[in-house]
Structure 1
């Protein structure tokens, strides 16, 4: 009987010391997040936008302030701001570029090139427009765009100088552009 008790004790002790660990093996899952995008604009030019830490870098527009405009053709406030953006681009020619990142139709699909070109012509848009699925990824990377229009003013060093949600008076943007340009 002592043998059985001793055997039971040894088996119990060995199970206790070598039993299953309730902790699941934690594997570190590193999800690579895309931070660099090459976009094709409607004028067939290419544009690289990279989110690097707190900066937004656009090598093709280096040394200029940039207004990134997240918008859609179906959005009335987005359409209303087009003349103001055209005015700002003209006023700050050579110092400011505007890039419109189209966020597609209400159903989430992108416009065809023909649809977008007709819209650009009808509204006489004088700045770059991109129409790609990457626009949605950029919107998430730069600032979690939840409503449109949303604009980001990027200074010549790549810092986000200002964020605008909704239609903003042209005069207000002028003050911020002047500050971003160091004037």
Structure 2
């Protein structure tokens, strides 16, 4: 009986502890697997030692998020050899998003993740409390910047500071 109680306590403690993991600036990015818009499996670690990652958390019905898509397209183009832009969509409204994008004449050319196991856990780990939320992850997989909101000047300033353009 004592052994059973010990095993239950140990596994319960591990389960509770694992639910409280969060990441912030200076931490290794939490690696998760998602499915991109082409149906390919993608992980944050796929780009480790190769590219910086601009990880964006977004939602279909988030007004400020819509203002970020063209910004992300531009930075993906400017820093194409050094940066991978990935948007994790909170909801599963892919068809509705596409209709809204077509109506607004927005073409998003960066990677979109619509499907990921445990999206709410991922958002809890990254401490997402609104959209859009951005994380810049360096080539070593460390979070080096984060910010909330549609802040184009912040985006440009961070990338100019942290990433060398290919044509400089």
Band of TM-score, shorter chain: 0.7 to 0.9
Q: What SS is found at the alignment partner of 1:88?
A: helix
Go from structure 1 to structure 2 and tell me whether the alpha carbon gap of 1:117 and 1:62 turns closer, same or farther (over 3 Å shift). Answer: farther
Within 1, Cα distance between the matches of 2:36 and 2:159? 23
Structure 2 counterpart of 1:74, from 61, 69, 92: 61
Q: What SS is found at the alignment partner of 1:139?
A: helix
Which consecutive aligned stretches of 4+ in structure 1 deviate over 6 angstroms post-superposition? none
Within 2, Cα distance between the matches of 1:36 and 1:173? 23
Are 1:46 and 2:29 counterparts?
Answer: no
Q: CA RMSD in A?
A: 2.5
| TM-score, length of structure 1 as denominator length | 0.67
Deviation at 1:44, TM superposition (A): 2.0
Where does structure 2 lack aligned partners over 5 or more consecutive residues? 20-29
| TM-score, length of structure 2 as denominator length | 0.72
Are 1:139 and 2:123 counterparts?
Answer: yes
* Matched residue, 2:108: 125
Deviation at 1:47, TM superposition (A): 0.7
Go from structure 1 to structure 2 and tell me whether the alpha carbon gap of 1:36 and 1:96 turns closer, same or farther (over 3 Å shift). Answer: closer
Q: Deviation per CA, 1:27-86: give whole Å up to 9, x if none.
A: 33221748653211012222113xxxxxxxx22464211111101111110001111111
Mapped contact 1:75–1:148 kept (Cα < 8 A): yes
Question: Larger C-alpha radius of gyration, 1 or 2?
Answer: 1
Mapped contact 1:100–1:129 kept (Cα < 8 A): yes
Q: What SS is found at the alignment partner of 1:131?
A: strand
Deviation at 1:133, TM superposition (A): 5.0
The answer to which structure, 1 or 2, has the higher relative contact order (CA under 8 A, 6+ apart) is: 2
Within 1, Cα distance between the matches of 2:53 and 2:77? 13
Mapped contact 2:53–2:84 kept (Cα < 8 A): yes
Within 2, Cα distance between the matches of 1:157 and 1:96? 13
